[in-house]
Structure 1
Amino acid sequence: MPAYAILLGVKATWFRRFGSGPFWQTISMESVNDCRRNWWRHMLFLNNFTYNSKCFGHSWYIAADTQLYMLCLLICVIAKTDSIRRKVLPLVYIIGIMIPPAVIYFLDLEGRFIVSPE
């Protein structure tokens, strides 16, 4: 998290000065402004719930991984005995498999990655 916080700070402050060109300010300021506005979502690892974020779009995986780690840690703390774990962990596995198709169906998303020439 400290390295991530440093990169986020650099992106929110100094990133706009790293390049030059006719469109550099236009392109970089959109990203810088988004980082300044939503820095707290990145620090709490909630940035994967932001739609169309321009600040560190590739960091959704860090947030998702941290959230799943916390969920699994909570499950392991709550399910203290082996008999409870044998019942809870397969249930969590089945729920985890069913969530992505349900999200795709209910939000009417494409089930596969489509690249168009545009």
Structure 2
Amino acid sequence: MKNAFNADKPIYIQVREQIEDQIINQQLKENDQAPSTNQLVNYYKINHATVSKGINQLVEEEILYKKRGIGMFVAEGARKKLLEKRRQSFTEDYIVTLVQEANKLEITNEDILTYIKKVRGDEK
């Protein structure tokens, strides 16, 4: 986990996204115990309410579930849900803008793919 927060985004969202990233990257797998609120508070040295807000959102979205007296655990299908959500967000945040700009510049679909392959290192 990163210990520095970005000033452009609320901290509770960043805490939440870091847990999401651990699930997506399979550092946390289905039914694994997630870091407790107290662990996150101590690690980041931030307010308990801030951490709880991010964790509670993950519980509401059924990414994490609570076992009373034991802790938080990664829900079945959590990674799949997160991938779907992030892919949708990626499309809205990046692809739509990319296509709009490409249309303005008269860049073809083939050219876009060539540029993407070049950036990813797939094409030399």
- Work out which of the two has the higher radius of gyration on C-alpha atoms and give 1 or 2: 1
Comparing both structures, which one devotes a greater share of its residues to helix? 1
Comparing both structures, which one devotes a greater share of its residues to strand? 2
TM-score range, shorter chain: 0.3 to 0.5
Larger RCO, structures 1/2 (Cα 8 Å, 6+ apart): 2
TM-score normalized by structure 2?
Answer: 0.32
TM-score normalized by structure 1?
Answer: 0.33
